[in-house]
Amino acid sequence: MAKRYLTTPIYYVNAEPHIGHAYTNLATDTLARYYRLKGDEVFFLTGTDEHGEKVEHTAKEQGQEPQNFVDGVVKTFQQLWDDLELTHSDFIRTTDQRHVKAVQQIFQQLYDQGDIYLDTYEGPYCIHCEAYWTAGRLDEEDNCPDCHREVKYISEESYFFRLTKYLPELQKYLEENPDFVRPEGRYNEVLKLLDQGVEDLSISRTKFSWGIPVPFDTEHVVYVWFDALLNYLSGIGYPGAEFSQWWPPEIQIIGKDILRFHAVFWPCMLMALDLDLPRRIHAHGWWTLRGDKISKSLGNVVDPRDLADRYGKDALRYFLLKRIPFGADGTLSDQDIVEVINGDLANNLGNLVNRSLTMVKKFADGVIPQQPEQATDNDLSNLAQKIRAEFIDEMENASFDRALKAIFQLVAETNRWLQEKAPWKLNRETDGEQLDFILYNICESINEVAYLIEPVMPDSSAQIRQRLGLTEKNKAPLNERSWGELQGGEKITIGQPLFPRIDR
Ligand code: MSP
């Protein structure tokens, strides 16, 4: 059984979670469910990034001790993931002792092996992004090139990580593994970053105290990004036995804003630790609201819970993953969500299920006909097998929109097939066999759709299967699946519409 380790970024706790964070986690949850559907063993890690100057500031502003403050905000993240029914295996906090211990041990090791040295850092620092810049990289107004906020000039003694020592190896790795960073545009961006030149990384600070103390020099706390990236190791028990079972990650999902940290700093840190690099880093785009990135600082946060309550969890997942390619930016609007729900979900999928089950009730007494001999080889079953293969290909690339498009092609074709075969024109007395053939295949096609949408819409998938008289027990893994799971004889239930149309 293959083992897959999947990660999300860990979120800053200076603010409560919003739809942008939920997007990353829902996408990763979808992949986790996909691999489980294949029968793989999955470790899906998420968590919170709790140290640093920004969090210390926010805690102070609120008149709280940092630890108290973070303990409060972390609960809102954990609660949200529970409400959205995410299937993560663990939740790592950078204030967990297991993490602090791992970071200190790694810092010591890299120092002992000569990859960390003491020097002075002088230059601009963006507290919002917790990022060091060189003067030449600032924007036209000398602000942070990423978030365009004012930077602070710092001059302090700092430990540095000998990043430059590993750059040639990284360059070579990237050339040999063009799939390491996805999508392609982001891969090219990384190459460009390397072309522009990268320096050794300052990895400790002395001017504030909310961080992990450097083990051999407690005047210093570890730079928050150096600390945070190591969650991917500490979260699965580095350096213990459990860790080696899961390492390296199958895929690390991030937003495009944190590409540099994950595709330049992180691999170099891993090389220094003599660990394999993740198989893939996939950077997705941003959700914007009327042109602005959704973020706390812009005051336009959208609470994922509101959207889930209003439209349903499955519909929200479907919208976010179908609407834009995983990598592109998207705009969030109620109008678009309603359009997708009414179109794809209510008119196409919901309608097909309802219509087909009603026919089974009417023409076969509510019992799915026995599997006919031709059931496994006809135009509909052949198309379904082809679509299953396409779905697998797309999911392997985290191309959720295309994977869903494939499934919905099967929905459309099944609707068309039903229309063409027109079972309502047949007579049970004289055309019984043909009638059963059609009803069986329509039901099996719906079953195929229900099976494939499970990673994206788990509740709807279970609902449809239940209506077909199936249970989640004994479900064959994806790679072993073939047309014909329905045996015939299952009693169907029609039920309420799966996706009621929404009036604008
Ligand atoms: N703490 C760091 C990550 C450390 S990982 C070792 C951090 N945290 S964050 O809370 O600011 O944002 C993390 C991620 O949230 C982004 O990379 C992105 O995945 C997601 N998003 C935040 N806002 C977003 C949108 N508006 N749209 C889509 N995703 C966005 O950076």
CB-CB contact of 222 with 204 (8 Å): yes
Regarding the beta carbon of 12 and ligand 1, being less than 6 Å apart is answered yes
Amino acid found at 179: D
- CA 336 to CA 344: how far, in whole Å? 12
Residue with the smallest CA separation from ligand 1 atom 5 is: 9
Residue with the smallest CA separation from ligand 1 atom 29 is: 20
- Ligand 1 pocket test, pick from 7, 91, 256, 258 with the greatest ligand atom count within 8 Å of Cβ, gives 258
Regarding the beta carbon of 229 and ligand 1, being less than 6 Å apart is answered yes
Same domain? 26 vs 168: yes
Same domain? 135 vs 83: yes
Same domain? 257 vs 353: no
CA of 378 to the centre of ligand 1 (A): 47
Looking at the domain assignment, is residue 17 inside a domain? yes
Regarding the beta carbon of 24 and ligand 1, being less than 6 Å apart is answered yes
Regarding the beta carbon of 304 and ligand 1, being less than 6 Å apart is answered no
Looking at the domain assignment, is residue 317 inside a domain? no
Which residues sit opposite 126 in a β-bridge?
A: 131
CA of 255 to the centre of ligand 1 (A): 6
CB-CB contact of 138 with 124 (8 Å): yes
Same domain? 118 vs 37: yes
Helices first, then strands: H and E counts in the chain: 19, 16
- CA 311 to CA 300: how far, in whole Å? 20
Q: How far is CA 254 from CA 9, 117, 446, in A?
A: 6, 29, 34
Regarding the beta carbon of 258 and ligand 1, being less than 6 Å apart is answered yes
Which residue's structure tokens are 């919003």? 18
Which residue's structure tokens are 């230059």? 123
Looking at the domain assignment, is residue 489 inside a domain? no
CB-CB contact of 478 with 392 (8 Å): yes
- CA 260 to CA 256: how far, in whole Å? 9
Same domain? 45 vs 99: yes
Residue with the smallest CA separation from ligand 1 atom 10 is: 11
Residue with the smallest CA separation from ligand 1 atom 6 is: 229
- Within 13 A of 498's CA, how many CA atoms are on the CB side? 30
Same domain? 295 vs 342: no
Same domain? 338 vs 287: no
pLDDT digit of tens for each residue in the chain (504 aa)? 899 999 999 999 988 899 999 999 999 999 999 999 999 999 999 999 999 999 999 999 999 999 999 999 999 999 999 999 999 999 999 999 999 999 999 999 999 999 999 999 998 999 888 888 888 889 999 999 888 999 999 899 999 999 999 999 999 999 999 999 999 999 999 999 999 999 999 999 998 999 999 999 999 999 999 999 999 999 999 999 999 999 999 999 999 999 999 999 999 999 999 999 999 999 999 999 877 777 777 777 788 999 999 999 999 999 999 999 999 999 999 999 999 999 999 999 999 999 999 999 999 999 999 987 766 779 999 999 999 999 999 999 999 999 999 999 999 999 999 999 999 999 999 999 999 999 999 999 999 999 999 999 999 999 999 999 998 887 999 999 999 999 999 999 999 999 999 987
**Full residue range of the structural domain in which residue 276 is found:** 3-301
Looking at the domain assignment, is residue 491 inside a domain? no
Which residues sit opposite 255 in a β-bridge?
A: 284
CA of 496 to the centre of ligand 1 (A): 38
CB-CB contact of 149 with 126 (8 Å): yes
- Within 13 A of 163's CA, how many CA atoms are on the CB side? 20
- CA 218 to CA 209: how far, in whole Å? 10
Order of strands across the sheet with 181-182?
90-93, 41-49, 3-12, 251-255, 281-284, 181-182
- Ligand 1 pocket test, pick from 6, 11, 282 with the greatest ligand atom count within 8 Å of Cβ, gives 11
Q: List helix spans (H) across 332-378.
A: 334-340, 351-364
For the purposes of burial, counting CB atoms within 10 Å of the CB of 429, is it exposed (0-12), middle (13-18) or buried (19 or more)? exposed
Residue with the smallest CA separation from ligand 1 atom 12 is: 11
Which residue's structure tokens are 């997708």? 340
CA of 52 to the centre of ligand 1 (A): 15
CATH number at residue 31: 3.40.50.620
Regarding the beta carbon of 281 and ligand 1, being less than 6 Å apart is answered no
H or E stretch including 283?
strand 281-284
Residue with the smallest CA separation from ligand 1 atom 7 is: 11
Same domain? 294 vs 384: no
Looking at the domain assignment, is residue 230 inside a domain? yes
Same domain? 47 vs 165: yes
- CA 320 to CA 322: how far, in whole Å? 6
Residue with the smallest CA separation from ligand 1 atom 19 is: 255
Looking at the domain assignment, is residue 86 inside a domain? yes
Residue 12 CA: which ligand 1 atom is closest?
10
- CA 277 to CA 175: how far, in whole Å? 14
Domain count across the chain:
2
CATH number at residue 452: 1.10.730.10
Same domain? 68 vs 131: yes
Q: Which two tokens stand for residue 3?
A: 């083992």
Same domain? 240 vs 124: yes
Residues in the chain: 504
Same domain? 294 vs 406: no
Regarding the beta carbon of 11 and ligand 1, being less than 6 Å apart is answered yes
Regarding the beta carbon of 26 and ligand 1, being less than 6 Å apart is answered no
Q: Measuring CA to CA, which residue among 450, 448, 454, 478 is closest to residue 464?
A: 450
Q: How many CB atoms lie within 10 A of CB 448?
A: 26
- CA 228 to CA 54: how far, in whole Å? 14
Looking at the domain assignment, is residue 316 inside a domain? no
Looking at the domain assignment, is residue 437 inside a domain? yes
Regarding the beta carbon of 324 and ligand 1, being less than 6 Å apart is answered no
Regarding the beta carbon of 20 and ligand 1, being less than 6 Å apart is answered yes
Regarding the beta carbon of 174 and ligand 1, being less than 6 Å apart is answered no
CB-CB contact of 10 with 49 (8 Å): yes
- CA 399 to CA 403: how far, in whole Å? 6
